[in-house]
Structure formats: C-alpha cells, structure tokens
Chains A and B, each alone.
Chain A
Amino acid sequence: GENVEQHPSTLSVQEGDSAVIKCTYSDSASNYFPWYKQELGKRPQLIIDIRSNVGEKKDQRIAVTLNKTAKHFSLHITETQPEDSAVYFCAASKGAQKLVFGQGTRLTINP
C-alpha cells in the first residue's frame, strides 16, 4: 500500500523567512496530494492540493510542487507570519482510494 514520509518533523523559522516541508510517497500511481494545516486544539483544514497532471500550484503565500519522477511533493510558505505556526500534514491517494497521511510537521514562526 501507499506510504508517505514527511520531513522535517519540526521546523522553526524567523518571521518573514520561507518554510519548506517535503513529502515522499511510494505508490507511483498516486495522483492526488493535499496539504492540511492544524492549529493548536483545532481541526485539520485543507490549505492547498495538487493533482498529478500539474507540477506546481500557488495560492497567495503558499505553493505546492510535485515531482512525479522522484515521487515527492513539497509545501512552500513564503513571507511567514506568526499565524502560520501550526502542524502541517501532507497526504497522498490514487483514484478512489483512501488518503494516506504523513507524520506531520510542527512549524514554529519566531517573531
């Protein structure tokens, strides 16, 4: 079955700097890659997703890139702000299959 590895497990950056979180997946047939943000004590919320027919997608300060050959995808957050502090989860699925989540990255933005 699909296996998703996420790195790093914790990430601390200065406010205004960029943050990058990377995930690798094992099943080359996976074609859907969402990212979820979970603030402390809250529910995970979808922030951006990408499908395998595109290589990059942007939404304001966040972007996701996909490298199908290497089977990895990354979340990029630019101009980080204190409200970006949260746990971020990547996930992968293929067709009508269950989403498999990465282990999560705790991102801390230092003022």
Chain B
Amino acid sequence: DTAVSQTPKYLVTQMGNDKSIKCEQNLGHDTMYWYKQDSKKFLKIMFSYNNKELIINETVPNRFSPKSPDKAHLNLHINSLELGDSAVYFCASSPDFGGPLHFGNGTRLTVT
C-alpha cells in the first residue's frame, strides 16, 4: 500500500490551462503539505494544512489554490498555468506539524 499517493504522475499542458493534482495519505497523519521541486532540485514548501486548516502559505501566487476536504486529502488546483510552473510537485504528510515527512511519488508538471 502506498502511504502517500498523488495523481497524476505526469501532467503535460499548455499555458493558460487550469489543472489539478490530487493527494491522499493513509497514514493517519494530521498534517499535509505541498512542495515544489524545481530543475535545480531545491525543495520549496508551498502550503501546509493541519487537520484541514491552512497553516502555511509561502507567498505562492493566487493562481495556486489548495483544498483539504478532510485530513487525509490535500489537492492542488492551478489556474492559468505559466511556463515557470513547470516542476515536480510533491505531496507529503507528517504525524504533526514539523515532524518527519512522508513524500508522495511526485507529479511532474510540464507547461508548454
């Protein structure tokens, strides 16, 4: 069983489109995150939710909107995609905020 699963694995789309990435964790963790990893491999936190409540929003453009319907799910919707949004997006969870992270397998987003 995959502990943190995200879909899709690959996403290729054109500039201006809107897309969503879904994430689910079956670890019973309270906290979930979205990270962006750019071509230089740097891991940058975007959002964090604790028990469905937003606790971190790292100056991410308003085009990015996370949604957490329950503490096991954290989805990411991106409007008006731009070339610079191309990256690998990782979902992660932890037992509590700041604790050990369990990452999903990532979604490679390519905007053309």
Residues of chain A touching chain B, judged by Cβ–Cβ distance below 8 Å, are 32, 34, 36, 38, 42-46, 49, 87, 89, 93-99, 101, 103-104, 106
Contacts and interface: CB of A to CB of B under 8 A. Distances in A.
B106 A43 contact: yes
Per DSSP, are chain B's interface residues mostly helix, strand or loop, or mixed? loop
Contacts of B34: none
A41 B98 CA distance: 25
Contacts of B105: 42-43
Contacts, number: 49
A32 B98 contact: yes
Interface residues of B, number: 20
Interface of B: 40-45, 48, 56, 90, 96-106
Contact of A43 (B45, B90, B96, B97): B90
Smallest CB-CB A-B distances: 3 pairs: A43-B103, A93-B98, A101-B43
A96 to B, nearest CB: 5
